[in-house]
Amino acid sequence: MIKTILVPATGSDTDNAVFASALAVGRAFDAHLEFLHVRVDAAAMAAAMASDGSGATMIGGLVERIETEAGQREEKAKALFQSFCGRERLAIAETPTGQSGPSAQWLREAGDEAYWVAEHGRSADLLLIGRSADDQGVPIDTIEAALLGSGRPVLITPATPLAALPETIVIAWKATPEAARAVTAAMPFLSLAKQILIVTVAEGQGLSDEGGARLTTRLRWHGLNASTRHLQPDRLSAADTLLAAAAEQGALVVMGAYGHSRLREWIFGGFTEHVLRSATGPVLMMH
């Protein structure tokens, strides 16, 4: 059951699309939307930027500039939130009201965004984060912190806002604990889907196919319309093959995140990183 959704509010031009996607998900589940803005710590940021020993005078001027920009960003984020809630007639609430339909709440913290998103995310049912574009929106480091530090599913939404939940879901299946947790976390979405495709991408025949077939049977016991598809990467990478199949269906992708260590992903690249940077549709991830 999804009843609380945490949504970072950055104060950038991407917020409106993210807010619209959050509302589409909120309406599907009658969920409470918590919009979180994290204001940067100007002194800490200035100290880090001036760590070359430029002197206290420069740091003082830098703090003032960063503080001004942070204030402007916070004002814009809250203005976008208020305008959005007014336009969509969203009830503002801090505790359950007993009324049906989605509601909204404004949250504000100061400091490191990645830390606070993970911290608040641990008590939410779902984190919904817009994919960053042109250095706007939530940076990839914050998305990674949400995935690795919150213990909750993270729905990463595309630049084009969702009008409703996709009717098709593609499960990127590999027999790993991360993928299994992702499927469990996605059950509220799966229960609303008209079609579920369990996609395995060839890493050799056999176990991958058998695992997908087992999951298909288990989901059918839940009364879900699930089928299996095994894909060959051909000239594309496994991640690109999966994303192309999902885009063809206009589907939500469900997948486990960071099955390998972050060090290995950083050195060699990985499936998760590629999807985070390349997917054009919505992706629900769980570590």
Q: State how far the Cα of 246 lies from the Cα of 255, in Å rounded to an integer.
A: 12
Predicted pLDDT of residue 232:
78
Delimiting residues of CATH 3.40.50.620 domain(s) in the chain: 4-157, 168-286
Alpha helices in the chain (DSSP H): 15-29, 42-49, 56-88, 113-121, 140-149, 177-185, 187-190, 207-221, 238-249, 262-268, 271-278
Q: State how far the Cα of 105 lies from the Cα of 26, in Å rounded to an integer.
A: 13
CB count within 10 Å of CB 132 equals 20
CATH architecture of 4-157: 3-Layer(aba) Sandwich (3.40)
* Mean of pLDDT over the chain: 87
Residue 32 — φ and ψ, nearest 5°? -90, 125
Report which of residues 218 and 41 the model is more confident about.
Answer: 218
Predicted pLDDT of residue 268:
40
Q: State how far the Cα of 254 lies from the Cα of 245, in Å rounded to an integer.
A: 13
Q: State how far the Cα of 190 lies from the Cα of 196, in Å rounded to an integer.
A: 7
162-221, pLDDT tens digit by residue? Answer: 999 999 999 999 888 999 999 999 999 999 999 999 998 765 554 456 778 899 999 999
130-172, pLDDT tens digit by residue? Answer: 987 666 778 888 999 999 999 999 999 998 999 999 999 999 9
- For domain 168-286, the question of CATH label 3.40.50.620 is answered with yes
pTM above 0.85, yes or no: yes
Report which of residues 101 and 193 the model is more confident about.
Answer: 193
